[in-house]
Chain A
Amino acid sequence: MILDVDGVAFTYRSSPVIRDITFDLRPHQVLAILGPNGVGKTTLLKCMNAILRPKAGSVLIEGADLLTADRMEIARKVGYVPQRCEAGRMTVFDAVLLGRRPHIGWDVTEKDIRIVEAAIRMLHLEDLTLRYIDEMSGGELQKVSIARALVQEPRVLLLDEPTSSLDLKNQIEILGIVRQVTAEHDVAAVMTMHNLNMALRYADRFILLKDGVIHAAGGPDVVTPETIEAVYGVPVTVERFNGYRFVVPLEPERA
């Protein structure tokens, strides 16, 4: 196992947000955390790299306890792509180079620059290397964010709604990158998502959160009309096409 989450709970102002979250993940797996707004998806994600300190439970990366490690050590193991990031007057190369922060001593080394260059090529950003990120589109910026997390050389990638503000082409591109990176490297990815069909297309493990606890977890087969209706309160049918599952909302019954 590359990631072991055991009994994690988080409390905000004495009301529990998530509790008893237990799951694990192998290398090359992509996990989608699903559930309605406010159910604690992002909270869970942030507990997994100690941006939020869980009130109970443990998070292990390759058997090593993450919650007792210091921030820099965590940053060398877990890459985090937040829902949005600020774009200042900085080039793509420097913005990605920032991801080497957990590895940089006083100054950047040649090795850091080589890694950044390779990551930029991996994400097909090489034509934009010296463009300023405050002049870029949402899709390009998201790729820069992911490249930044990749050059941290983490074992686990966390992505908070990586496609929430992107058009269809960019959604496919970003999720394809996540899929490809996890397939080709010894890493695992965890992402929170709203688009169920995109999740079914690109993830292979699923967690459905309801009222702060795991309602269902497992492979694509846990995404059924029953679990979706229980979690989202929306009647759906789950169809198959080309070997993938698709969730189609049904007309709500007229009152």
Chain B
Amino acid sequence: MHFADGAIPADYLGYVRQKHLWILGGVVLLFLLLIVSISVGAVSIPPYEVFLSLANGIGDRIHLLLNPGTALDPTSTDRIVWNIRLPQALAAVVAGVGLSVAGVAMQSILRNPLGSPFTLGISNAGAFGAAVSVILLGAGTMQSSVADAVNINNPYLTTMVAFFFCLLATAVILLISRIRGTSPEVMVLAGVALSSLFTAGTMFLQYFASDTQLAAVVFWTFGDVGRASWQELGIMASVTMAASLYFIANRWNYNAIDAGDETAKGLGVSVERVRDVGMVVAALVSAVIVSFLGVIGFVGLVCPHMVRRLIGDDQRYLIPGSCVMGGILLLASDTVARIIVAPYVLPVAVLTAFLGAPVFIYLLLRGYRR
């Protein structure tokens, strides 16, 4: 082919720069939101002090790492920031990023705008796992404490059983797609079937549960980012980061699949393998988040569509854009959830749809940005 005379079109470079600016703007917004989110609450901390506490805290911790003998000397502000609000805010960001990136991948893999991290039955499988752990394995009790009305007295057991059932659901769908061939229709329909199955299982267990157990199970399913400790946050962050990197590395493959399976195959993409691996990665990241935090709906479905309306379907921008948007939406929801009915703190799952649905409907009505 004679393509030697090609030039680099300036307007295209401008177009690309504009996309990058959108994503960069989102990152800046997310950071500002993080400061605001940490500053508001029962004890109000001015944003500037939050910033100082974060900056100093990071410096002190690096110092501590380099000089193991010394100790931290936190002020009360530092304690609130570092022990309570920062882990919760970061958990919201990580969960938002993870669910949103899993959602954007599922929409491409399943060739379906309704694709979400939960399409394959992950959330219902997780809830069933929690029910099994609480009702059959006795992990739940009701306790009166300041923080929560209900405590699950063995959270690790619940997390592990929930995670196990999430993976079980994924394995079943993978097995089905191995037998019937990896087609989006088969995956979606198998996911619907599994969801119903696990819902029925959960209902069955709940029917025979005591009041306490029932409350514990229902409480578990309300996704709440306040549950995460630093250690759990670390696990979620590593999985989310690895998954995001995997999806970003495959952005061209997803673009090709979006153009049609045959086009993608003609471009050298092993469509079935990209689908299978992508599905497992998306399921894994959703399973980790659901197991630690409970079910947080809507973010994974809607964030990718919000980003599509803003910067289009090109996966090169859509995947990182969805990551940022997921972090923003869940962090904003959690911030509102913490202050809207103060002194009570709502679990974030209650708020995501309340906050996201109007924005989403507005974007749907407005259509694409030119």
Which A residues form the contact surface with B (CB < 8 A)?
Answer: 46, 49, 51, 70-76, 78-82, 84-86, 88-91, 93-95, 98-99, 101-102, 104, 106, 110, 113-119, 129-130, 132, 145, 148-153, 158, 184-185, 187
* In contact, A86 and B259 (Cβ under 8 angstroms): yes
Interfacial chain B residues near A145, Cβ < 8 Å:
263
* In contact, B258 and A74 (Cβ under 8 angstroms): no
Q: Does any Cβ of A come within 8 Å of B255's Cβ?
A: yes
A94 to B8, CA, bound (A): 13
Q: A74-B268, A86-B259, A89-B312 are in contact. List 12 more A-B contacts (CB 8 A).
A: A49-B266, A71-B268, A76-B268, A88-B313, A89-B313, A90-B312, A101-B253, A101-B256, A115-B1, A115-B3, A129-B11, A130-B11
Within 8 Å by CB of B268, from A93, A102, A158, lies A102
Question: Could you jot down 19 A-B contacts, CB within 8 Å?
Answer: A46-B262, A51-B266, A71-B265, A75-B266, A75-B267, A76-B268, A78-B266, A79-B266, A80-B266, A81-B266, A85-B260, A90-B312, A90-B313, A94-B255, A101-B269, A113-B12, A118-B5, A148-B263, A184-B2
Q: Which residue of B lies closest to A69 (CB)?
A: B268
Q: Does any Cβ of A come within 8 Å of B219's Cβ?
A: no
* In contact, B258 and A88 (Cβ under 8 angstroms): yes
Interfacial chain A residues near B5, Cβ < 8 Å:
118
Nearest chain A CB to B20 CB, angstrom units: 13
Q: Does any Cβ of A come within 8 Å of B270's Cβ?
A: yes
Q: Which residue of A lies closest to B15 (CB)?
A: A130
Q: Given A90-B313, A101-B252, does the pair A115, B368 have CB atoms closer than 8 Å?
A: no
* In contact, A94 and B314 (Cβ under 8 angstroms): yes
* In contact, B262 and A80 (Cβ under 8 angstroms): yes
Nearest chain A CB to B275 CB, angstrom units: 14
Within 8 Å by CB of B269, from A71, A82, A90, lies A71
Q: Does any Cβ of A come within 8 Å of B308's Cβ?
A: yes
Q: Does any Cβ of A come within 8 Å of B147's Cβ?
A: no
Q: Does any Cβ of A come within 8 Å of B69's Cβ?
A: no
Interfacial chain A residues near B268, Cβ < 8 Å:
70-76, 101-102
Please provide the chain B residues from 289 to 325 with a CB less than 8 Å away from any CB of chain A in the complex.
308, 312-314, 316
* In contact, A132 and B312 (Cβ under 8 angstroms): yes
Interfacial chain A residues near B312, Cβ < 8 Å:
88-91, 132
Nearest chain B CB to A14 CB, angstrom units: 17
Q: Which residue of A lies closest to B13 (CB)?
A: A113
* In contact, B260 and A86 (Cβ under 8 angstroms): yes
A99 to B264, CA, bound (A): 9
* In contact, B252 and A114 (Cβ under 8 angstroms): no
* In contact, B368 and A89 (Cβ under 8 angstroms): yes
Q: Which residue of A lies closest to B253 (CB)?
A: A101
A130 to B18, CA, bound (A): 13
A117 to B9, CA, bound (A): 7
* In contact, B3 and A114 (Cβ under 8 angstroms): yes
Q: Does any Cβ of A come within 8 Å of B68's Cβ?
A: no
Q: Does any Cβ of A come within 8 Å of B7's Cβ?
A: yes
Q: Which residue of B lies closest to A187 (CB)?
A: B1
Interfacial chain A residues near B262, Cβ < 8 Å:
46, 51, 80, 82, 85
Interfacial chain B residues near A76, Cβ < 8 Å:
268
Max chain A CB contacts within 10 Å: which of B12, B249, B253, B260?
A: B12
Interfacial chain B residues near A149, Cβ < 8 Å:
266
Please provide the chain B residues from 236 to 255 with a CB less than 8 Å away from any CB of chain A in the complex.
249, 252-253, 255
Within 8 Å by CB of B6, from A78, A81, A114, lies A114
Interfacial chain A residues near B256, Cβ < 8 Å:
98, 101
Interfacial chain A residues near B259, Cβ < 8 Å:
85-86, 88, 95, 98
Interfacial chain B residues near A130, Cβ < 8 Å:
11-12, 15
Q: Which residue of A lies closest to B316 (CB)?
A: A94
Within 8 Å by CB of B252, from A104, A148, A184, A185, lies A104
Among all A-B residue pairs, the 3 with the closest Cβ atoms: A75-B268, A114-B6, A80-B266
A49 to B263, CA, bound (A): 12
Q: Which residue of B lies closest to A112 (CB)?
A: B6
Interfacial chain A residues near B266, Cβ < 8 Å:
49, 51, 75, 78-82, 149, 158
